[in-house]
Amino acid sequence: MDLLDTLTAKGLRGEVPTREEALAVLATTDDELLDVVAAAGKVRRRWFGRRVKLNYLVNLKSGLCPEDCSYCSQRLGSKAEILKYTWLKPEQAADAARAGVAGGAKRVCLVASGRGPTDRDIDRVTDTMAAIKDADPEVEICVCLGLLSDNQAERLKAAGADAYNHNLNTSENTYGTITKTHTYADRVDTVQKAHGAGLSACSGLIAGMGESDEDLVDVVFALRELGSDSVPVNFLIPFEGTPLAKEWNLTPQRCLRILAMVRFVNPDTEVRIAGGREVHLRSMQPLGLHIANSIFLGDYLTSEGQAGQTDLDMIKDAGFEVEGAGEATLPRHRADVAEAAAAGSCGTAASACGSGGGCGPCGGHSHPEPAPVEEGTDEELRSDLVKVRRRGAGTELAPNA
Ligand code: SF4
């Protein structure tokens, strides 16, 4: 298949495909799916070998957000019956982080709901990072606190943060239909602030919100241009009690095509299968590891993932290995770009310098002329697959790691 040969060759050279080629990946058929995974797998192995980076989420403050992001169980007016609590104490957060690191996580992701942090919140997170790094100086810390004001990224960097997460989520064109309380430009600004302060930029997307293929390609190219070092690919978890609760329009096959497209556009960037992995990829999760080089261990912010040990067993059974604390995640040339940005000298245009949720299987029966299946119309509501988190941070129960 010419398309896949071209994409593989470009990916092995670290080149970005054309927009048309990226769209063509999303248009491939189920019969072509394993070839798509194999091609993306070659690119993944070129830059990341068989390593899988594990990341562990600690929800520092859950729910009660004044923002209205339609996909989010913590949003203003959300009826989702999630855990709601205010800031964890540093020792509580450090205990949760320690469980993740003990389970194999290399990076701890400290997340708090809200539009953005106050300066007092930066103090709290500073104390929390100190407590975590006291126990394990090697651990990478990524902070996710929403929109940043001037100088907050610099304060987080000085306090020991390694990375900042702020997802673009969807295309600029559709952003206004998903969220009204802030803009796409606000999000870009925060990613640039983080990058400009020398923090590694972690920024990704959410698929399954009713977006078009063009929207997906737009946001993935935008992330490449922003110079995101890690790209979390979330698959919408349609929480009951949120406006997108009925958006069950992803199939495992669609998720794999999306992951492959993200990999081809970001050949040498950390691509992470994020929220919705178990809900939407289901038994196809191991194939996702052939494309992405990073996952979250255990639970998510407000929903439960599969058992941490099951994550580890899956990685081993699929022939991959957990990335160790002493191993570099990004290829050397990508690290150089990040260092240049931190030093204030623009490396490449891609560095954004400037200051910073299955279709019914035919079950093996022969159908000479199968009726065309339109993706997004035949997925039954599978709210039984969404389990609200009731353990770990903010509870008396042990974390899943
Ligand atoms: S700002 Fe964050 S926590 Fe608040 S509704 Fe949006 S995604 Fe959820």
pLDDT in tens, 330-368: 998 887 666 665 565 433 333 333 222 223 333 334 333
Q: Verify whether ligand 1 is closer than 6 Å to residue 69 (CB atom).
A: yes
Distance from Cα 116 to the centre of ligand 1, integer Å? 9
Is residue 353 annotated as a catalytic residue, yes or no?
no
Q: Where residue 142 falls among pLDDT bands split at 50, 70, 90?
A: very high
Q: Verify whether ligand 1 is closer than 6 Å to residue 67 (CB atom).
A: yes
Per annotation, catalytic residue among 44, 51, 142, 353: 142
Distance from Cα 210 to the centre of ligand 1, integer Å? 19
Q: How far apart are CA 64 and CA 86, in angstroms?
A: 9
Q: How far apart are CA 54 and CA 41, in angstroms?
A: 18
Q: Please state, in angstroms and as integers, the Cα–Cα distance from residue 145 to each residue in 16, 82, 153, 162, 272, following that order.
A: 30, 19, 10, 14, 19
Ligand 1 atom with minimal separation from the 114 CA: 4
**Crossing angle of the two packed helices 33-48 and 252-265, in degrees rounded to 10:** 40
Q: What percentage of the chain has pLDDT greater than the value 90? A: 85
Is residue 346 annotated as a catalytic residue, yes or no?
no
Q: Identify the pLDDT of residue 23.
A: 98
Q: Identify the pLDDT of residue 380.
A: 74
Query: What are 50-108's pLDDT values in tens digits?
Result: 999 999 999 999 999 999 999 999 999 999 999 999 999 999 999 999 999 999 999 99
Contact call for residues 133 and 141 (beta carbons, < 8 A) = yes
Q: How far apart are CA 69 and CA 51, in angstroms?
A: 33
Q: Verify whether ligand 1 is closer than 6 Å to residue 65 (CB atom).
A: yes
User: Ligand 1: which of 72, 179, 300 to mutate, judged by most atoms within 8 Å of the beta carbon?
Assistant: 72
12, burial (CB in 10 Å: exposed 0-12, middle 13-18, buried 19+): middle
pTM of the model: 0.89
Distance from Cα 71 to the centre of ligand 1, integer Å? 9
Per annotation, catalytic residue among 44, 272, 334, 389: 272
Q: Whose CA is nearest to atom 2 of ligand 1?
A: 113
Q: Verify whether ligand 1 is closer than 6 Å to residue 170 (CB atom).
A: no
Q: Amino acid letter at 51?
A: R
Contacts made by residues 8-11, CB under 8 angstroms, sequence distance 24+? 8/39, 8/42, 8/43, 10/264, 10/267, 11/39, 11/40, 11/42, 11/43, 11/46, 11/263, 11/264, 11/267
Is residue 144 annotated as a catalytic residue, yes or no?
no
Q: Identify the pLDDT of residue 338.
A: 60
Q: Identify the pLDDT of residue 335.
A: 75
Q: Verify whether ligand 1 is closer than 6 Å to residue 146 (CB atom).
A: yes
Q: Whose CA is nearest to atom 3 of ligand 1?
A: 113
